A and B are shown apart, each in its own frame.
Chain A
Amino acid sequence: MEIIRTEALIKDYELGKVKVRALDGIDISINSGEFVAIMGPSGSGKSTLMHIIGCLDSPSQGEYYLDSVLVSKMSKSALAGVRNSKIGFVFQSFNLLPHLNILKNVELPMMYGGLSASKRKEKAREILEGVGLADRLRHKPGELSGGERQRVAISRAIANDPSILLADEPTGNLDSQAGGDILEIFDRLHKEGNTIIMVTHDPLVAARAQRIIRIKDGMIDNGDLDS
């Protein structure tokens, strides 16, 4: 089943008086349960694509369907709901809230989703136990190693059982040991049926994906060819 489809996505930025085209007609289709890597040199537009897929940004032209819903024309507050329920983000720099303990960090999307305090606490605990952090629930992110922090971030990303997991260089700030552990988790999540879209520079990381989408100058380089 198709979970993501984009049609002729175009994104323009205004830098002063100059118009810069970051995306120039992107058509992609991703099925539910796929593990896809997006690769491309910096400045290629892959981050912009990622932001649009993650509903943090809207395209200037073209259409984007998520779960068969046209989200490219949605209002900002409707997009907030889409991000909350359908998308889980994992960032290179973890982006945990430093003042909250990791349990609270994982509860965050569930809080914005309106889940009751007791339910979300229970679920956050369950997820964190699943990534081996059961004894760290009350720790602040600053007290954890990079690998542990990224595991918290993944836990947060999957807290609302999203339709897609978006990971932006998730191993970029980790040593190879911790990075490997994180990729194991992504593999496991993939096997459990999650759809994963991972932006990466690293061919070894991309090799874990079923398919690689290459972006160059805002366009798809090798389209829908299977890797």
Chain B
Amino acid sequence: MAISIAESLHIGLADITTRKVRSAATIFGIILGVISILVVLAILNGMNASTLSWMEERGGTNKVEVHRNWNYDFSKGGEANLTLAEVEEIRQMLPEAVAFNSQVMLYSHNELKYRGLSYYSNVAGVLPDYLQVENWGVSEGRFISDLDVRESSNVIVLGSSAARDLLGGKDAVGKKIALGGNVLEVIGILNEKNWEKMQGGSFGGNMLEYMNQQSFIPISTAINRYDNTMKVSSLQVTAESPNHALKLQKKLNQILLNLKGGRELFRVSSAQEGIMTMQANARIFSLIFILISAISLLVAGIVIMNIMLASIKERTREIGVRIAVGARRIDIFFQFMIQTVLITTLGGVIGIGLGLLILDKISAYLEMEMIADFRIMISSVLVSVMVGLIFGIMPAIRAGNLDPVDALREE
């Protein structure tokens, strides 16, 4: 005897279309709530995606790095650097590392010269594995080899911008350039690194351009041919997997502490840890904003509930008539339940539409990448359905429980 869901849907839809103004008023709150949820989820999504792409561009999630610990009070003694012998010792203790690089920065010399042209470039002394730990590659020629390191060869690899600006970018490999009194042969050009805060956006442009302006020589060349007082200030290690990276990070930290008599001169970080920190931050961030959205949806829900209650009061006689001609309580219950859920769902869909329309503007204003994918839209719709279910149930029960005799007497 029960009327079908399709029938109830039909009644619900008819109810909404005959009461457009009321439905619109009811819907307003839910639209706002859903827009805010959509925007928040899109921000989180965007943050995630942009951090991951940044990590990927900077060497992937398997990377572990050692830098000077800026939180350490260096007046207590100790220096945040390593001799080549210490580096070698560390390397021996990390057989699980897939790639291992140690780096010195050639602060004393930064002017590259070629046929009267000058180009100022940060020159780093590195190991062959540098290419791998940075997820980088050469576009022309080759990178520094083990032989280059062993022999302290006078060779240099240029970043794409350095090569273009100094050598015009053409047939750069094989050319000889001068750096601080030494003549170095260009053996390779690196691929262009490109990462923008927003895909296709214009905020800040390529944030990795500084890497394209760098140039690289063997670490041994830097020390032996330029400045033999230089020490290694940073290490980059690639592990087998993100999990291995976390283990390697701990181990490396312990090795450095042992090496430096327990002083925390270095900070060991891993991309994986960074991601985890970011995700933890994102969780807090999202909790706060989802709470705000939830409050707005709660308010919207209460408004909806009250409008439905008023609507049911106004339609008491109609309900009485329906009961008189054979509607069961459950039929009346479903009629109003479905109507409420239809309204909130419609609000959700409109909210998503409007949210998508304004997302670009918000994104431009906040200078944040926002990605509203299908999953987010589904979640937003589900949330609005839930609001309908939660706040529709009480009015619908009340409607279903109306006494037909009283209901028919109602004016």
A residues touching B (Cβ–Cβ < 8 Å)? 51, 54, 56-57, 76-77, 80-81, 83-85, 89, 91, 95-97, 99-100, 108-109, 111-114, 156, 160
B329 touches A89 (CB 8 A): no
Please indicate the chain B residues that have their CB under 8 angstroms from the CB of A77 in the complex.
Answer: 328-330
For B401, the closest partner residue in chain A by CB is A76
Size of chain B's interface in residues, with CB distance under 8 A? 24
Q: Which one of B3, B405, B408 contacts A111 once the chains associate, using CB atoms below 8 Å?
A: B3
- Across-interface contacts of B1 in A (CB, < 8 A): 80-81, 84, 112-114
A/B pair count, beta carbons within 8 Å: 70
Among B74-82, B217-225, B317-325, the stretch in contact with A: B317-325
Q: Which residue of B lies closest to A91 (CB)?
A: B408
| Interface residue ranges of B301-332 to A (CB < 8 Å) | 317-318, 320-331
| Interchain CB contact under 8 A, B405 and A108 | no
Contact of B14 among A91, A95, A96, A99 (CB under 8 A): A99
Using CB atoms, name the residue of chain A closest to B317. A95
Does B46 lie at the interface of the complex (its beta carbon under 8 Å from any beta carbon of A)?
no
Report yes or no: A156 in contact with B330, Cβ–Cβ below 8 A. Answer: no
User: B330, A108: Cβ atoms under 8 Å?
Assistant: no
Across the interface, which residues of A come within 8 angstroms of B327, CB to CB? 80, 112
Taking the complex as formed, is B199 at the interface, i.e. its CB lies under 8 A from any CB of chain A? no
Known: A54-B324, A56-B404, A95-B324. 18 other contacts (CB 8 A): A56-B324, A80-B1, A80-B323, A80-B327, A80-B328, A85-B326, A89-B325, A97-B321, A108-B321, A109-B325, A109-B326, A112-B1, A112-B3, A112-B322, A113-B1, A114-B2, A114-B3, A160-B326
The interface residues of chain B lying within 8 Å CB-to-CB of A85 are 326
Instruction: Report the separation of the CA atoms of residues A48 and B14 in the bound assembly, to the nearest whole angstrom.
Output: 34
Q: Which B residues lie at the A interface, using CB under 8 A?
A: 1-3, 7, 14-15, 18, 317-318, 320-331, 404-405, 408
Q: B227 CB to closest chain A CB, in angstroms? A: 89
Tell me the complex Cα distance, A156–B325, Å.
8
Q: Which residues of A contact B404 (CB under 8 A)?
A: 56-57
Q: How far is the CB of B204 from chain A (nearest CB, A)?
A: 58
Q: Which residue of A lies closest to B326 (CB)?
A: A84
CB distance from A91 to the nearest CB of B (A): 7
Q: Determine if A112 and B331 form an interchain contact, defined as CB atoms under 8 angstroms apart.
A: yes
- Residues of A within 8 Å of B324, CB to CB, are 54, 56, 83, 89, 95
In the complex, 12 of the A-B residue pairs with CB atoms within 8 angstroms, ordered by the A residue number, are A54-B324, A56-B323, A56-B408, A57-B404, A76-B329, A81-B1, A89-B325, A95-B317, A99-B14, A109-B326, A112-B3, A112-B327
Cβ–Cβ contact A97 & B318, under 8 A: yes
A49 to chain B, nearest CB (A): 12
Q: Closest CB-CB distance, B12 to chain A, in whole Å?
A: 13
B11 nearest CB neighbor, chain A only: A111
In this complex, what residue of B is CB-closest to A47? Answer: B405
